[in-house]
Structure 1
């Protein structure tokens, strides 16, 4: 079951001490804490993959771990491939770094003959056909949307460990509604019939791989013992995304031992619809007594301006996740201020964003370092058209896999053949350019768009990968490049293609760019219209946070008042921007985009820890800092004053036809009532009261505060 990676790069062999060099104190603590359970709470951009891979490398080079006894689990093939690449560069071979499903499938294939007998059934890649057949057997209409919804419900029930017999009760308890427009009892019948269809065809689905592995490990002590003997040390990345089914599998792998390191961030939980829950992360220290908890909060990815916006977005969060949020501390020099731009309609927004990107690309910004992120895939069409019209190349993330493209497969065949005849001492980059020239690659990008440009970009990505390999591992040959490509193809770890990335916020998780444009940041899109519970809305807030933290240098947020040109503007900016739009005073260096009123940018300032004015304890959340007191201390405002402010806010909001929070949020209103400022200077010190609010409402608020009770 063990996996072997290729030999490490040439040059001085890494040592235990050299592996620790360059780590910050918290990362070093992660890397050197090799005994007992470890829980790493790692914010976005804080170097968690670096800490994890250096932990494994340090353990291997110091002799504490045998690499073949380490199982590192993550959630995407790309992340697993990146982890293997980093470990190889650190001189560690033999570690198995895989997704939950890939690791389970290897074990299932290995143990199936002895545990079950015969050959493992084939795995269906998509459920749609089987679900449609199940509906047909039950004489239910099954259009594409219904089949998609029912397929998702089948997956949800399995990853949540909900048996078909218990489905109606559990689905009702968790408010699943009517999947596919069917009542829960009918959905349960579809699920039973779906299992019959699978049995008749002799196939299993994606979730069955985990369920069957769990079943074998649970029922066969000899198999469980063999797996635990093979793997003694476990590392789990993105632990906030673990489902109950994956947690059950992990428990069986570990078998009650404590050599387990988990890494995650509750504020990046955005896959609850797929069964992900951060409760396993948040409860880890309680379930594993003696856990070492390490927090990574130094953000090396983004500028202080981007980090400030990300922190502010989360500062208004509520619920259990909010208590676990990490306040990021930027480590990079200051950069451009975030921009906030309103457009008349979606077409105008797409055109405006494309024009801004085209200008940046002409000025020398690589297109591959720019991304446009959106909430729903349906938003991409206008953006694709606008970028095409502007002559900007783009890549739609979620399309055909890189290594499945015909030109890539043909190029790899050519490189493999050339590797057999390569002369010693040849320069890798030049050799690759010569080989790929016969496949249509040119030094200059073609002027054409469409398929011609797509083909060139695929080949250019291979050229760039060769250049990167030559720098990272001097002396690399064509054979080394082919080996690298084979490993990346197996992990679907594609090289970067030179085009602007278009992606949904969900698909952008785990990626980063120099410049990020977040479009459609309006009510109904973010949060999405069907987010009708407080829990759902908070997940939408976390989705925005994930989007913001993808940016290294620049972040641009925009929204449109209407969907189509000429339509009445009915959309308003997302409520998640409430703390940053009024005067932009809550974000260091924030400013408005073109055509909007607002204040100029300013440099990010170092914040000193805030303390509760009542008990003196440090304030941990944005809401507490805004109020100036901790949640444990009682309010200190006069009830009559607070009610006057609330009544006034309601009247102002009604007159302006805007939600009340656009005037002042509840937290800001409470802070005003508690601090009772007597002049505009004091009022301006209240978080959430920027210059624009002072100009618009300042005197009215002061008059209300001055009224006798």
Structure 2
């Protein structure tokens, strides 16, 4: 085997061919870090500096580990262990446990929630889902940062905790006690790391055996390493330094889990002879996107900012990023849906479009707007694909078919799969109705994934296909589904799309309120989160925010401070440019409230709507809302109905001039509204 390095640029080549020993690759978004570290592993093996079975590559997700194994496989390299920290520790602990604990039985705890609930209940602490989740998060943070129950209260004095720190410490202590039963000891995922490190630190025999097996280490996303994970890595290495780390401090967004970029930032201090390479050529995004990303991160302060990378967009020029403000969230969501419809009409695939927000609760308004516009979407971070009821049912059906005809292969196999899924709802055409359509989309995605796997492995039979699907499920690697993606900024890390909409960009949401209260360090992490969102876009990038939550609500929100100095604020009042004052068409006074601005008159000034028009529109709205199973205001607010009654538009074009009505509303309800108004002409 000979590794062809001609596909690498000069910086990637320097990283891939760096001498064996400590190497830090500072890789910006879209710069080809996975390609680079894959080629580095291959080059080390090709040159005889490492053997495949003695390389351990650590990633942060099963999907990333699977991708690395796949790429190495395409290069003809097998045997490299590519795993997450926890998966690697679990494998090692199972092997070494008899030497550590003899015959003491242990079990892996994969549901910590119930144990934390029992611990909280025993102390009289609230056990609602949100509080238990927050308590569990605190325990996980403490373990990741190597804090025992006795030390938690002191270390958590400046943290926002779900209960007083001493109470959380006691929940933590009782949780640890509850894991041990007469049947044996229970270990959670953090314990896997703790016990693995302990075994290597305290037993020279175990350490010697492990270090004989693994000689070369690669760690991806090194900016997200926790103190506990670093302790494991140090135990793996011992006195050796054959280590390659890859990371970008600008993308440090998980400090709430205990992650810290300090190990990346201090790498050349720990290893003075280390090779440090920067990857800054961004092959993902247009120069317009990378220029904005550089502006965003260029305003960062603090220690992380000292190592910032400056991205160079390598794609052809594209459209400039856009920035918009709206009176309220429904208006913002309708406008986003309208722009997405335009992109779809231009030929941008739905699965190449994403709407990203700070917290999951923001998705509802956008889900409604996309549904109203007839645009298929999927919410990332919701139920995992392979855990959906229809997919579990489908795989069970395939297992039953395999018992009869498990050797079906090739083109016949794809037909067998399609026939097995047909009774479950996989038809030739997409059905009507939201639930039926969602089920159909899942089954279609499974059928298409099966076909892809058959094409990739022509001799695959049904039993082999089921094994492949099981591997994909374990790696949490779902198929690509045709639909616009809705996701939080955290869930979007590591992903990319042709078009990205960054929505809800207000102070108090990005940066989020608790970060503002916590101080500048947390605000800077929120800036990095914004940077991650910007760098998800390949070509089209839209930013937006709403000044009020609901139609007619108080417009008291301010746009995100992260836009300051990047794009002018259209709502800012300056001596040179003041916003136009909207005045009542009846009395001429300035209009103050959002409702008055929709009406175009003071709320207490007389209306010129014809008798009965407003009430007829309300009756129509009630029927429409009931039929669509949505709140009435989602269709139109009272203020918008009154504005329609007063304007009496005679065409769809005239309706667009009525405040609060956009293209999506006209498309969905325009003809029906005109029919109601026609009765009063």
1:52-91 to 2 correspondences below 5 Å: 52-91=37-76
Q: Report the equivalent of 1:140.
A: 125
Provide the TM-score with structure 2 as the length reference.
0.79
> 1:31·1:52 contact (CA, 8 Å) conserved in 2?
yes
2:342 corresponds in structure 1 to 359
Matches within 5 A, 1:428-507: 433=418, 436-437=421-422, 439-450=424-435, 452-466=436-450, 468-469=452-453, 481-507=465-491
Normalised by the size of structure 1, how large is the TM-score? Answer: 0.76
CA displacement, residues 493-517 of structure 1 (integer Å, 9 cap, x when unaligned): 1121212111111111111111111
Where does residue 164 of structure 1 map in the other structure?
149
Please point out which of 560, 568, 575 is paired with 1:574: 560
Distance 1:559 1:260 in 2: 44
Asked whether the equivalents of residues 56 and 82 of structure 2 are also in contact (C-alpha less than 8 Å), the reply is yes
Instruction: Say whether 1:187 aligns with 2:168.
Output: yes
Partner residue, 2:598: none
Q: CA deviation at 1:40?
A: 0.3
What does residue range 70-469 of structure 1 map to in structure 2 within 5 Å? 70-118=55-103, 120-172=105-157, 175-177=158-160, 179-182=161-164, 184-200=165-181, 202-412=185-395, 417=401, 420-422=406-408, 426=411, 433=418, 436-437=421-422, 439-450=424-435, 452-466=436-450, 468-469=452-453
State the 1:126 CA deviation: 3.6
* Alpha-carbon separation, structure 2, partners of 1:85 and 1:428: 23
Aligned partner of 1:640 in structure 2 is none
**After the TM superposition, which of the residue ranges 192-201 and 307-316 deviates more from structure 2?**
192-201
**Structure 1 residues 112 and 239, CA gap change in structure 2 (3 angstroms):** same
Q: Is the 8 A contact 1:527 1:574 kept in 2?
A: yes
Q: Tell me the distance in 2 between the aligned counterparts of 1:509 and 1:468.
A: 26
Cα–Cα, structure 1 residues 308 and 430, in superposed 2: closer, same or farther, change >3 Å?
A: farther
The 3 A distance-change label for structure 1 pair 551 and 86 is: same
Q: Secondary structure at the match of 1:181?
A: coil
Q: What is the number of equivalent residue pairs in this alignment?
A: 572
Partner SS, residue 156 of structure 2: helix
Find the aligned partners of 1:140 and 1:518 in 2 and give their Cα distance: 38
| Deviation readout 1:227-271 (Å, 9 max, x if unpaired) | 212211111000000000000000001112111000000000000
Report the Cα distance in structure 2 between the residues aligned to 1:479 and 1:60, rounded to whole angstroms: 34
State the partner residue of 1:545: 531
Task: Quote the offset at 1:17 in angstroms.
Answer: 3.3
Larger Rg: 2
> 1:144 and 1:410, CA in 2 relative to 1: closer, same or farther beyond 3 A?
closer
**Superposed displacement of residue 437, structure 1:** 4.6
Cα RMSD (Å): 2.7
SS in 2 for 1:140: coil
2:34 to 49, 54, 64: 49
Map of 1:698 onto structure 2: none
Contact 1:306–1:548 (Cα < 8 Å) also in 2: yes
In structure 2, the residue matched to 1:604 is: none
Aligned CA distance change for structure 1 residues 27 and 469 (closer, same or farther; 3 Å)? farther
Asked if structure 2 preserves the Cα contact closer than 8 Å seen for 1:109 and 1:120, the reply is no
> Deviations for 1:2-54, whole angstroms, at most 9, x for unmatched residues?
xxxxxxxxxxxxx4233x23111111222222501110000000000111112
The Cα of 1:362 is off from its aligned counterpart by 4.0
CA contact (8 A) 2:14 2:277 kept: yes
Structure 1: 5+ residue stretches without partners: 1-14, 584-595, 598-648, 657-709
3-state DSSP class of the match of 1:562? coil
* C-alpha distance 547-280 of structure 1, shift in aligned 2 (>3 A): same
Q: Paired residue for 2:504?
A: 520
Relative distance call for 1:449 and 1:143 in structure 2 (3 A) is closer
1:106 deviates by: 1.2
Q: Is the 1:371–1:500 contact (alpha carbons within 8 Å) kept by the matching residues of 2?
A: yes
Distance 1:199 1:63 in 2: 47
Q: Residues 313 and 579 of structure 1 are in contact (CA less than 8 Å); yes or no, is this contact kept in structure 2?
A: no
**Equivalents in 1 of 2:285, 2:456: separation in Å?**
24
User: In 2, are the aligned partners of 1:358 and 1:391 still within 8 Å (CA)?
Assistant: no
Separation in structure 2 between the aligned mates of residue 459 and residue 26 of structure 1, nearest angstrom: 43
Separation in 2, partners of 1:443, 1:61: 49
User: Separation in 2 of the partners of 1:167 and 1:510?
Assistant: 32
